[in-house]
Chains A and B, each alone.
Chain A
Amino acid sequence: QSVLSQPSSVSGTPGQSVTISCSGSSSNIGSNAIKWYQQFPGTAPKFLIYSHNDQPSGVRDRFSASRSGTSASLAISGLQSADEADYYCAAWDDSLNGWVFGGGTKVTVL
């Protein structure tokens, strides 16, 4: 059971936009920067983007990250087949004194 909650999967058609949510608490997402990682099957994770304050602050190509309170989200616009991967959110947790990760979300392009 992961401390940060993500949907196990999301899907969309090419060109669509999809959003991956990441829900936490005041000790992690509510207090610290949230990082997003992309992992293709059989490869190492790769840092994608991060967000910190309540303003839309992270934008990288077609990926954007935002945070509101104790929830965060990663949006992918113009979905491409190359975006099929697992996506993980992560944040430092002040109560646990360590990092917490989401369980990962598999993005499928239909």
Chain B
Amino acid sequence: EVQVVDSGGGLVQPGRSLRLSCTGSGFSFGDYAMIWVRQAPGKGLEWVAFIRRQTHGATTHYAASVRGRFIISRDDDKSVAYLQMNSLKTEDTAMYYCSRAGSNYDPGWYLFDPWGQGTLVTVSP
């Protein structure tokens, strides 16, 4: 079964850091770009960051709201993608979902399938 599992969320104070993990199974992890998408309580979906596959340079892209504070990375040997979140703000409070994005270079073709179950990040004093 193709699956991704998110972990690492929790309660953190503003200005602190947190690292999320996304573990893939049932597919060749290194052949896919991976993405993080978040959803604030009662709100819609917002993409956060994605990382291409190694053969596409493992290039990274970030939403403007997190650029300079968050870092996405991957360890294909462990089939894990990470989201290092620094200088957290209260507005970063959300459920964070990891997803297998796609295998193309062109992100316009990414389907985001499947999604992890989500890991909740709460930023509060």
In the bound complex, do residue B115 and residue A44 qualify as a contact, i.e. CB atoms below 8 Å apart?
A: yes
Which residue of chain A lies nearest to B106 when distances are taken between CB atoms in the complex? A92
| In the complex, A99 has a CB within 8 A of chain B | yes
Q: A interface, by DSSP: helix, strand, loop or mixed?
A: strand
| In the complex, B118 has a CB within 8 A of chain A | yes
A107 to chain B, nearest CB (A): 15
- How many residue pairs, one in A and one in B, have C-beta atoms under 8 Å apart? 53
A104 to chain B, nearest CB (A): 5
Which residue of chain A lies nearest to B6 when distances are taken between CB atoms in the complex? A44
Chain A interface residues toward B at CB < 8 A:
2, 31-33, 35, 37, 43-47, 50, 88, 90-92, 94, 97-99, 101-104
Binary contact track B98-125/A, C-beta < 8 Å → 1, others 0: 0000000001111111111110000000
Q: Which of A2, A45, A97, A104 has the most CB of B within 10 A?
A: A45
Q: Which of B46, B61, B108 has the most CB of A within 10 A?
A: B108
Chain B interface residues toward A at CB < 8 A:
37, 44-47, 61, 63-64, 97, 107-118
Which residue of chain B lies nearest to A2 when distances are taken between CB atoms in the complex? B44
Given contacts A45-B45, A103-B44, contact A32 B111 (CB under 8 A): no
List 5 contacting pairs A-B, 8 Å CB cutoff, sorted by A. A33-B109, A45-B112, A46-B115, A47-B112, A88-B44
In the bound complex, do residue B63 and residue A47 qualify as a contact, i.e. CB atoms below 8 Å apart?
A: no
- Taking CB atoms, residues of chain B closer than 8 Å to A50 are 111
Q: A47 vs B113: C-alpha distance in the bound complex, in angstroms?
A: 6
- Taking CB atoms, residues of chain A closer than 8 Å to B111 are 35, 47, 50
Partner of B108, one of A31, A47, A101, A102: A31
B78 to chain A, nearest CB (A): 22
